[in-house]
Copies of this chain bind each other. A is one copy, B any other.
Amino acid sequence: MNIGQAAEATGLSAKMIRHYEQSGLLQPTQRSAAGYRQYQPKDIEILKFIRRARVLGFSLADIAGLLALWQNPQRSNTVVKQVAQQHLAEVEQKLQELHAMKQTLQQMIAQCAADGGAHCAILQHLAKPQPLIKPTRS
């Protein structure tokens, strides 16, 4: 199986498969006489593993660790869970940041007239932020 077929079989690009090999995620595969990379079914499984982990947002460094654990019969699921929990924490952190951005953007947009005039609540806020949500009367 050449790299193009491996790419199609896994949903990765040939470019990225080479990149993963060069980054040490994959052992260098066998090569044909002409130097073409040859992929065995086992290699395809590893590539699919990488792809699924990428979809979940794991970094290549994380994936290198997860692959090592996967291939180690003496692995401890405790370590795996820690990696996943750490990553989940980072995802949640980013969710919070994006949520804060979204809130502010929505409020700014809602206050912008968009009547073609020069007055603009968005620019005003960026120039000198005003409290967007009135503090609840205390």
Q: Is A19 interfacial (CB 8 A cutoff)?
A: no
B84 close to A116 (CB less than 8 A):
no
| Contact-residue size bin, chain A (C-beta under 8 Å from the other chain) | 35 or more
Q: Is A27 interfacial (CB 8 A cutoff)?
A: no
Q: Is A66 interfacial (CB 8 A cutoff)?
A: yes
B84 close to A105 (CB less than 8 A):
yes
List which A44-65 residues lie within 8 A (CB) of chain B. 45, 49, 52-53, 55-57
**Which of B69, B101, B112 makes the CB contact (< 8 A) with A81?**
B112
A102 close to B84 (CB less than 8 A):
no
Q: Is A120 interfacial (CB 8 A cutoff)?
A: yes
Contact with B along A96-127 (1 / 0, CB 8 A): 00110110111011001111111111110111
